[in-house]
Each structure stands twice: as structure tokens, then as C-alpha cells.
Amino acid sequence: QVQLVESGGGLVQAGGSSRLACAASGRILSVLNMAWFRQAPGKEREFVAALSWTGASTRYADSVKGRFTISRDNAKNTVVLQMYNVKPEDTAVYYCAAGGRGSLTDDYAYWGQGTQVTVSS
């Protein structure tokens, strides 16, 4: 079993930066593929970024490519989503996910509770 807890986020101005962290317990992240998803009000949950368990492979949604970076710190059992040049359309609840692959929500077995990111224009 894996428990995921997100932190970070909050209110950030457009063009600014924000850092989200996902801390895991129960099973080490170093053997799990990890991902971030987000869900804006009235919309379906969508893929943001993914990182292979080796750390060698990353994947990003076109909407965040070049602005967001996903990384992992296996020593701290943490995955980080660093967001740069944020836009109002990045406003959403961000979820950490583990144990899947690809960009589909159904692929991931474990989920955090989510953390709110609000970008003001």
C-alpha cells in the first residue's frame, strides 16, 4: 500500500513559480512510476506530467511543456512538480499519482488528496 501526501501550491501570480511536493509512505517511490494530474472546476482530471521509476523518462502535457518540471528525490521518497511561468489556466487541484504508466487516470493505483493551485492574473 502507498500513501501519498501533496504539499505546496496556494495562490501565485501569473508569470510566477510554484513548487508542489508529493511525499510517499508505505512503499518506496524509487520503484514506482509517478505522475501529476490536475482538475479544474467543472472539468475532468487531466494529465500534467509523468516520471518513470528509473527517472530516465519524463512526459509532459503539451499545455505545460517547457514550463513545468517533474523530478524525484528517492532519498526523501518525494516527487516534485516545479512550475514556472504559471498561467491562470493552470488553476486547479493538483494530484500526485503512483503505480501506473502513461497519461490515463485509470492507469494509476494510488492517489493523493490533492492540493489547490490558484493563479491570479
Average pLDDT of the residues in 36-54 = 95
Q: Are strands 115-120 and 10-13 parallel, antiparallel or unpaired?
A: parallel
pLDDT at site 55: 82
99 pLDDT exceeds 70? yes
Average pLDDT of the residues in 14-20 = 97
Dist. CA 104–CA 95, nearest whole Å: 13
> Are 20 and 115 within 8 A, CB to CB?
yes
pLDDT at site 27: 67
54 pLDDT exceeds 90? no
37 pLDDT exceeds 90? yes
